[in-house]
Structure 1
Amino acid sequence: MEITDVRTVLLTTPYGIEGTHTRRRSAAFIEVETDEGIVGVGETYAGVYVPELVEGIVALYRDVLIGRDATSPIRLYRDCYWVTGYCGRTGLTVMVLAGIECALWDALGKFRNAPLHELLGGAVHDRLPLYASGGVPTLNRDQLVAQAAQVRADGYRGFKMRANPVTYQPENEAERVGLVREALGPDILLAVDAVQNLNTQPWSVKQVLHLLDALAPHDLAWAEEFLPPFDPAPYAELRAMTSVPISGGEGITTAAVFEQWLRAGAFDIAQPDPTIVGGIGEARRACEAADAHHVKVAMHVWGAAPTLTANYHLGFTQPNCVMLERPVMGNPLETEMLAEPLQIVDGYVLPPRAPGLGVELTDDLKAKYPYEPGSASMFG
């Protein structure tokens, strides 16, 4: 199966619910076309933030891939990575390459008529619990409580809300988290994401400890990115001083860097994402490194269907994966690109069954959601 083309597709969709920080969302997909008529589809998380930069980076890798055997995603990833090894070992180039690598896996799965998790050795879980992900800080209290109540009604096993990432306000956060806990009840897991990768003056360990004390009555499942994602040492220091599980890692763009953070003792829960960390192969390496350090994994998911399914397929193959994220922020491409609906029973998702990633990017969808320049969002 020979690669005949590699191209970028940018789309913009309506997004969010009343009170959301943005009401439209950009996305960047990569299509890998083959001489078998099979088109693999991947997504890069860079499409949310800098969609118009994606096409040029894809074009750089395109010359490496045209004419190559599409059934070797890991080899092709390494060859592409070598091309930008001097100028793009981490960061944006790897995030874009992640979308290409995921598209290669999708093409391989479609070629072999097998879901991705089978190509990766098979599912080791019969089901995995889903947690709903939303609760952005621009929602007012009534909207936040309504979303939490809907999460409970929909049967999710957990809910993750966001703290205000740029304003340190322990008392206000405690009140908001308390309202959500009341709406959820005592049996649904509740996590808080402080998104400190967006804060130009991120919080200190001392500030975080004070905030965690304020949130203590509400029984947090984990505290996510309460510190800036630049140095693992403060994470390890925080872990030694609190009983709240500490999570992070969504912005790490290679498995090698993930290994450094794990060696430093930064996480109780690691959160890799194939559309960020270089693709399926690199994300699998990150999960395996976490397992070697006795760290649990909860895959990061905050994109369209190719992001969702890439993470779900991989999560099902990893013994230390304990939960999967499901955004509830109103992105139509989370559902409209799925080849088959997710199978969800009592708040647990079953392994996807469609070949490859289980996604389709049709001409109808491309026409329905044309790209709108300026639809990128720094807040995701």
Structure 2
Amino acid sequence: MKITDVRTVLLTAPYGVEGAHTRRRSAAFVEVETDEGLVGIGETYAGVYLPDLVPGIVELYRQVLVGREITSPARLYRDCYWVTGYCGRTGLTVMVLAGIECALWDVLGKYRDAPLHELLGGAVHDRLPLYASGGVPTMSVDQLVAQAEQVRAEGYRGFKMRANPVAYQPDVEAERVAAVRNVLGPDALLAVDAVQSLNTRPWSVKQVLRLLDALHPYDLAWAEEFLPPFDPAPYAELRALTSTPISGGEGITTATVFDQWLRAGAFDLAQPDPTIIGGIGEARRACEAAAARRVQVAMHVWGSAPTITANHHLGFTQPNCVMLERPVMGNPLETEMLVEPLDVRDGYALPPSASGLGVELTEEIKARYPYEPGSASMFG
């Protein structure tokens, strides 16, 4: 099976939750077409922030891939990565390459009529807890409470909300977290994500400790990216000074850099994402590096259906994966691209069974959600 084309599809979908920071969301997908008539679909997280830059980078890699046999996504990834060795060892080019690599795995799974987790060696979990992810800081307390009530009613095992990444306000954050904890009850998982890559004035370790003290009564499962994502040393320092588990790593590109953070002792809980780090292969290496240091993994998910399924498939193959994320901000591309609905029972996700990633990008979907220039969102 040979590659005949590699192309970008940009779409814009509505965001349907009241109080959301944006009411529309851009996405960038990669289609890998083959001479067997099969098309693989991948997503790059860069499509949320810089969709207009994705097609040019995809075209660069297209020149490497067209005419090649799809037998080893890992080998094709290495060949593409080499092309941008001087200008893209980490960052945007790797993030775009992630979408291509995921599409290669998808089409290989479709060709072999096997779900991705089987291609990766098979699922090692019968089920994994699924937590809902939402609670953005632009939502009022009433809107936040309403979302938490819905999450509880739908049976999720937990909820992750966001702190305000551009303001330092321990009392306000404590009030919001208290309201959500009151809705969820004492036994449900509750985590807070501070999204520090967006903070132009990042918090210090001392500030974070004060904030964590304010949130301590509400029994956080973890504190996610409360520090800037540029240096692992403050993360390690924070871990030594607090009993709250510290998580992060979603924005790291390449498994090599991820391993540097793990070796520095940055995380209690690691959160790689194939659509960011460089693809399925790089994310698997990051999970294995975490396991070698006895660090648990909770796959990061904040994208459309190909992002959800790529992370879920990989998570089921990793013994140290303990939790899966599901966005609940009302993006139709999270569900309409699925070949079959996610199999969720009593708040636990079961291994997907559709071939490849289990996604399709039909002409009807493309027509329904045409790309709108200017729909990129800094917050995601």
Aligned AA for 1:52?
D
Aligned AA for 2:125?
H
Distance of 2:49 and 2:68 partners within structure 1: 30
Distance of 1:9 and 1:352 partners within structure 2: 25
Gapped runs of 5+ residues in structure 1? none
Distance of 2:23 and 2:16 partners within structure 1: 5
Residue 174 (1) aligns with residue 174 (2): yes
Alignment of 1:87-236 (within 5 A): 87-236=87-236
Normalising by structure 1, report the TM-score.
1.00
Shift of 1:200: 1.0
Aligned AA for 2:284?
R
Alignment of 1:1-380 (within 5 A): 1-380=1-380
Distance of 2:289 and 2:256 partners within structure 1: 9
Distance of 1:56 and 1:261 partners within structure 2: 31
Shift of 1:72: 1.4
Distance of 2:149 and 2:31 partners within structure 1: 38
Aligned AA for 1:255?
A
1:273-303, Cα deviation, whole Å (9 max, x unpaired): 0000000000000000000011000000000
Distance of 1:135 and 1:111 partners within structure 2: 39
The answer (yes or no) to whether the contact 1:16–1:22 under 8 Å persists in 2 is no
Q: Number of aligned pairs?
A: 380
Aligned AA for 2:142?
D
Secondary structure in 2 matching 1:4: strand
Distance of 1:155 and 1:35 partners within structure 2: 44
Shift of 1:364: 0.5
Gapped runs of 5+ residues in structure 2? none
Aligned AA for 2:190?
L
Aligned AA for 2:371?
Y
Structure 1: 4+ residue segments shifted above 2 A: none
Shift of 1:188: 0.7
RMSD over aligned Cα atoms: 0.4
Shift of 1:71: 2.2
Shift of 1:70: 1.5
Distance of 2:197 and 2:151 partners within structure 1: 26
Distance of 1:71 and 1:37 partners within structure 2: 16
Secondary structure in 1 matching 2:274: coil
Distance of 1:131 and 1:186 partners within structure 2: 15
Secondary structure in 2 matching 1:166: coil
1:55-82, Cα deviation, whole Å (9 max, x unpaired): 0000000000000012210000000000
Distance of 1:343 and 1:62 partners within structure 2: 34
Shift of 1:187: 1.2
Distance of 2:351 and 2:34 partners within structure 1: 27
The answer (yes or no) to whether the contact 1:130–1:158 under 8 Å persists in 2 is yes
